[in-house]
Structure 1
């Protein structure tokens, strides 16, 4: 049977036919998109008058962490305190109300990184609030952790303990090499099993079907019909996804990434990726990408910069880069040989420059060897980019990915103390890259249950369009209207809609089957309550999803 939707305002994301009024699909495919109703003689047709409602392609979140969200439901949400005294009081009060017999390990999220100096918080400070059991506070950037003395003791981490990944996953130390209590990335996790064994408790971090389904149900309700998972957390995650798909319950196209740390460990990680492909690949599930963190976060000062920290009196601290150009080039070459894509976490301007220079060198070397280039290199975040480098993604075929809901005040102005006022005022600039012709896709990069609500694409679209975060606006006394400067960095709504649909499909090599409402592609689309292009810019996030259709099946709402 053909389903025909008429009298609609249809945003197709197809440049050859940007707008339509009629859409028809049969089974899982679109068979007609246009202005007039098609001829359907001899076919059974169900016709639905949408009465002018807005239709757009299913959203593609091209950088998110569904398993990490599913694993984080046991974390303790913490208000965003603006001083250490109130934070410690909250932590202590929670511990007093929930004894260690009830909560053996306290995991709080989040604290503002700029509450502390460049050396970070100390275990002794956290001990004043909680000392009878392990306690961890996660920073707002999701890359730094503050732990107490009891946690270090139970993990058996001391001055003699080597860092898991020097320069990346590491314990900040004092002059004598003793851990201070500030931990970069997931260094603590490598020693967590010792702690869990001693306290006789393990947190519920398994990726279970109920936990994953809860996250996927949220995606359905917000029109997300395809996604890229920034890091596959475990084999159990893949098993859960395949089981759901085998039963017809997945209802999303999934692309996942395997993380690597160096050229040395890359072959082994590629082997793991091949295992995932063989064991868990389906029509809806693929694993095609290697993931690398090239630097850290601007809020913690461990991004990689072209100029030293403004707060460094000696002018020697340029942040941290995890891999230099030559090694990165070799990683790109190996992945191209393996017909795999590479997705890089990049926040600092030096990391961005090192990245594009490595891409250029790799493509040149491959050409000299007579090899075709097929690997899609993706630079995620790109928060700080030198003006001279803005044209490089278009020139070199590098795809760019931006997490829209970061565009306002989500991370505050914490990065200023490292990069200075001028550079901070020019962060999150994507319009110049787009004008040069770069492929820029949009995403949420949501990683915990705490922020899952921000994975709503319309929430991200609103923030990227206005540069104002409705949940975390900047201080209006310093930034008029709470808007993050500069105003010319606001991304146009139509660009955002295409970036969340067509550009995401191109990034993930799905452009022939999704990303636009084009005959022959999948019937993946949303019917929403309001035209976002005409809505109040401050209320785009409130647009309701009346129906979400996946492969011709209504998976949320009703037609």
Structure 2
């Protein structure tokens, strides 16, 4: 008989509309056997059941991150971690300390620098600023948010980039007035450097993945839904699962670019779907990119940018080719996700989904990021059955990227603000919503995003009344988007996302009740325990 554990004396928030609150839960093996009152649940337990007293603590379904890049995030933990830097001086200090601590690294790699360091010298991001810290080794800093990279002179030299190097298709080598590369690279102009950086060994990659899995468990995550760039990690994740080392569930995706062989990508994801255990490694997603980001004027905005009316950004696919690829992927039984940030990209994605009719209703295609849809498109999510996948920590991102909090309005214009990250409007129009992080681009902690979705305000209370406060949502809505909403967005709602009999026993115990504390304190709540499949995988160390 499967092991039984009876969790008693808790404040359980189930995210189950039929039974939202409970005081006890019985776990049998890896699944929930009963949820409800103490007397009703105890009556279903065997005499040998272990009883764990939750001491009145708040418990709820474990979080599901509906959009991140896990292999990339695992690498971030072993790089120069720039997101935490709050000044340019701090960036240089981190660079120097990392170089000193890793004298064997041929390249110094870092991620997620910000735009707005208060002490950044005039002229902005230039190779000379990195040269003064490290000149004898190549330095490669990338920013997923900016879709840009910053490199030193040594890196440019090794890449063979000079004043005579043409811009690659879909990218820009930024140059000074004399035509010399500055060390700032946009979009696909930095792919050359990715290829030059020495690849980690399989052993190092495996260690990094294990470390990242534990980091995810620490933040209360039971599943992460890969938004691409994790293909190389899949064999290692499968090995970890076979060895009993995997305490995190994955939804796996593979990216299709306009020049990709769609048959090869479909074959790859089909192999995952057929060979792997979907409870832990669920291969089901084909991922597309339609545009870039608003911050670097590469989001697709056919109407032009407010600060550069003649620029419309980047559209990476021709509509006919994209529509055909989406239809083919859905016909093969896969879920389609599309990176679409600008107005034109969102409309193009929804047009393709609408054209595929009933298949889209069944497959639940997704629009990732969805920063500035038209009023018409806000209504179409519910009509089509498409998922709006948001990363709420990016809403007024002052806490994540210095100097970028006002950039969105500069790019898009104040008249479009009411439709900025329109979470509430899509929900009110009947559209399904899921939350994630885009880690490592922002912090992995879901509670940061939950606070931000509720307040739309930085930790230092800027803006005073919230940024586009009419798009604020309730705490319950935010919790749903990070649990049952995310499970639905990944076709896992029958097994995950709420505490109900028959579902997998994936849940967390928190230090406070996010439904009761002041919303400003939500990001300070600690995950005390994370249980995945009935097994404890994280416990906060005793103070």
- Residue 259 in 1 paired to residue 255 in 2? yes
Report the CA distance shift for 1:19/1:210 in structure 2 as closer, same or farther (over 3 A). same
Unaligned runs of 5+ in 2: none
Report the CA distance shift for 1:210/1:81 in structure 2 as closer, same or farther (over 3 A). closer
Paired residue total = 528
- Residue 421 in 1 paired to residue 414 in 2? yes
- Residue 383 in 1 paired to residue 371 in 2? yes
Report the CA distance shift for 1:91/1:311 in structure 2 as closer, same or farther (over 3 A). farther
Q: CA deviation at 1:381?
A: 1.0
Q: What does residue 156 of structure 2 align with?
A: 152
**TM-score (structure 2 length as normaliser):** 0.86
What does the per-residue CA deviation read over 1:458-487, in whole Å, with 9 as the maximum and x for residues that have no partner?
Answer: 2221122121233xx57x5xx32xx64112
**CA–CA separation in structure 1 for the residues paired with 2:435 and 2:304:** 30
**CA–CA separation in structure 2 for the residues paired with 1:343 and 1:372:** 11
SS in 1 for 2:530: strand
What does the per-residue CA deviation read over 1:119-153, in whole Å, with 9 as the maximum and x for residues that have no partner?
Answer: 98555676566554423333371521122343222
- The answer as to whether partners of 1:346 and 1:352 remain within 8 angstroms in 2 is yes
Report the CA distance shift for 1:162/1:272 in structure 2 as closer, same or farther (over 3 A). farther
SS in 1 for 2:40: coil
- Residue 462 in 1 paired to residue 458 in 2? no
- The answer as to whether partners of 2:4 and 2:46 remain within 8 angstroms in 1 is no
Q: CA deviation at 1:90?
A: 3.2
- Out of 450, 456, 471, the residue aligned to residue 489 of structure 1 is 471
**CA–CA separation in structure 2 for the residues paired with 1:79 and 1:253:** 26
With 99-108 and 540-549 compared, the bigger mean Cα shift is at 99-108
**CA–CA separation in structure 2 for the residues paired with 1:389 and 1:50:** 45
**What does residue range 506-545 of structure 1 map to in structure 2 within 5 Å?**
506-545=488-527
**CA–CA separation in structure 2 for the residues paired with 1:557 and 1:100:** 31
- The answer as to whether partners of 2:456 and 2:469 remain within 8 angstroms in 1 is yes
**CA–CA separation in structure 2 for the residues paired with 1:528 and 1:202:** 38
**CA–CA separation in structure 1 for the residues paired with 2:321 and 2:286:** 15
With 121-130 and 244-253 compared, the bigger mean Cα shift is at 121-130
**What does residue range 259-278 of structure 1 map to in structure 2 within 5 Å?**
259-262=255-258, 265-278=261-274
**CA–CA separation in structure 2 for the residues paired with 1:89 and 1:543:** 28
Q: What does residue 237 of structure 2 align with?
A: 241
What does the per-residue CA deviation read over 1:425-458, in whole Å, with 9 as the maximum and x for residues that have no partner?
Answer: 642221010011111011111126xx5xx31222
Report the CA distance shift for 1:484/1:426 in structure 2 as closer, same or farther (over 3 A). farther
**CA–CA separation in structure 2 for the residues paired with 1:255 and 1:93:** 34
Report the CA distance shift for 1:420/1:23 in structure 2 as closer, same or farther (over 3 A). same
What does the per-residue CA deviation read over 1:335-379, in whole Å, with 9 as the maximum and x for residues that have no partner?
Answer: 11111111111211111111111211232xxx6xxx786333111
Report the CA distance shift for 1:151/1:431 in structure 2 as closer, same or farther (over 3 A). same
**CA–CA separation in structure 2 for the residues paired with 1:95 and 1:252:** 32
Unaligned runs of 5+ in 1: none
Report the CA distance shift for 1:158/1:100 in structure 2 as closer, same or farther (over 3 A). farther
**CA–CA separation in structure 2 for the residues paired with 1:372 and 1:129:** 52
Q: What does residue 227 of structure 2 align with?
A: 230
- The answer as to whether partners of 1:298 and 1:418 remain within 8 angstroms in 2 is yes
- The answer as to whether partners of 1:290 and 1:343 remain within 8 angstroms in 2 is yes
- Residue 556 in 1 paired to residue 541 in 2? no
**CA–CA separation in structure 2 for the residues paired with 1:210 and 1:88:** 28
Q: CA deviation at 1:211?
A: 1.2
- Out of 399, 412, 422, the residue aligned to residue 405 of structure 2 is 412
Q: CA deviation at 1:22?
A: 2.4
**CA–CA separation in structure 2 for the residues paired with 1:122 and 1:458:** 35
SS in 1 for 2:414: helix
Q: CA deviation at 1:523?
A: 1.4
What does the per-residue CA deviation read over 1:398-426, in whole Å, with 9 as the maximum and x for residues that have no partner?
Answer: 01111122223234212333222333564
With 437-446 and 301-310 compared, the bigger mean Cα shift is at 301-310
**CA–CA separation in structure 2 for the residues paired with 1:321 and 1:170:** 15
**What does residue range 274-423 of structure 1 map to in structure 2 within 5 Å?**
274-278=270-274, 280-281=276-277, 283-312=279-308, 315-363=309-357, 374-408=362-396, 409=398, 410=400, 411-423=404-416
**What does residue range 151-230 of structure 1 map to in structure 2 within 5 Å?**
151-158=155-162, 166-167=169-170, 169=171, 171-172=173-174, 181-185=183-187, 187-190=189-192, 192-193=194-195, 195=196, 208-230=205-227
Report the CA distance shift for 1:553/1:98 in structure 2 as closer, same or farther (over 3 A). closer
SS in 2 for 1:505: helix
SS in 2 for 1:37: helix
- The answer as to whether partners of 1:405 and 1:469 remain within 8 angstroms in 2 is no
**What does residue range 10-159 of structure 1 map to in structure 2 within 5 Å?**
10-35=12-37, 36-38=39-41, 39-40=43-44, 43-78=47-82, 86=88, 90=92, 94=96, 98=100, 104-113=106-115, 121=125, 123=127, 131-139=135-143, 141=145, 143-158=147-162
Report the CA distance shift for 1:17/1:274 in structure 2 as closer, same or farther (over 3 A). same
**CA–CA separation in structure 2 for the residues paired with 1:266 and 1:330:** 11
With 138-147 and 242-251 compared, the bigger mean Cα shift is at 138-147
- The answer as to whether partners of 2:138 and 2:152 remain within 8 angstroms in 1 is yes
What does the per-residue CA deviation read over 1:45-64, in whole Å, with 9 as the maximum and x for residues that have no partner?
Answer: 33344342212111111112
Report the CA distance shift for 1:74/1:14 in structure 2 as closer, same or farther (over 3 A). closer
Aligned-pair Cα RMSD in Å: 3.4
Q: CA deviation at 1:271?
A: 2.3
**CA–CA separation in structure 1 for the residues paired with 2:469 and 2:161:** 47
**CA–CA separation in structure 1 for the residues paired with 2:98 and 2:512:** 48
Report the CA distance shift for 1:379/1:282 in structure 2 as closer, same or farther (over 3 A). closer
Q: CA deviation at 1:506?
A: 0.8
Q: CA deviation at 1:515?
A: 1.0
**CA–CA separation in structure 2 for the residues paired with 1:130 and 1:213:** 31
